[in-house]
Amino acid sequence: MSNRNKAEGELVPIEKKWNQIYKHSLLTVTSKILLENSFLLPKQGKALDLACGLGSNALFLAEQGLDTYAWDASSIALNKLHFFAFNKNLNIHTKQVIIEPNTLPKESFDVIIITRFLDRSLTNAIMESLKPEGLLFYQTYVREKLDPSGPKNPAYLLARNELLQLFQPLKVVVYRENSIIGNVECGERNEALFIGQKYDKKFSP
């Protein structure tokens, strides 16, 4: 069912950490960035839910008819995802792997979604893994959040406008970072939401 790109001894510490997190977790909700902008998805193609966790985004993408891949370090999360997919009669290709730049194949996916996961060393590899005109959906925590949910280490939190800077080569389709402007009881206050499109080489500016 799942695949390991790293030797057993290298994967175990990360797998153990995330297995503990997902051991008693139930299926999470589909990410806002995907739900609110699902009309942008292609009608067919390959989609990757990177650092998928329990795979709610992967399930949603598969329901839209996309050939869907889900990668994570946690065997427990991937086993639960298989169960959810089986019950929905969906086929999702899972892979248990430590996600590193050389993990991502070049120009392979029409859609990549990443939520609540931040590894800046992957930025170029993520963009290179998109096919021309491919879409990146990204949603994760910012440093200016209003509640303590998510990581506390600033290394795993976005600075203001950081997604725009990290993925500057992509065409910006959607960007939202509400911060603490206006009525803080409304809107998404803890995460930045980004959709970028890779330029087709034939028509790139």
pLDDT digits (tens, 9 = 90+) for 14-68: 888 888 888 888 878 899 999 999 999 999 999 999 999 999 999 999 999 999 9
Say which range, 32-41, 139-148, 184-193, has the weakest mean pLDDT: 184-193
- Domain definitions of the chain by residue range: 8-197
Backbone angles phi, psi at 204, to 5 degrees: -65, 145
Q: What is the DSSP string of 109-141?
A: EEEEEEES---GGGHHHHHHHEEEEEEEEEEEE
Check residue 205 and give its pLDDT. Answer: 56
Asked if residue 3 has pLDDT above 50, the reply is no
pTM comes to 0.88
User: Measured between alpha carbons, how far is 201 from 205 in angstroms, rounded to an integer?
Assistant: 9
The residue that leads in pLDDT, 148 or 84, is 84
Q: Which fold has domain 8-197?
A: Rossmann fold (3.40.50)
Most confident of 7-16, 104-113, 172-181: 104-113
Nearest to 48 by CA among 165, 128, 158: 128
Which pair of tokens denotes residue 198? 């890779």
Short-list 100, 97, 117, CA closest to 31: 117
C-beta separation of 141 from 166 below 8 A: no
Question: Which residues face 92 on adjacent strands?
Answer: 68
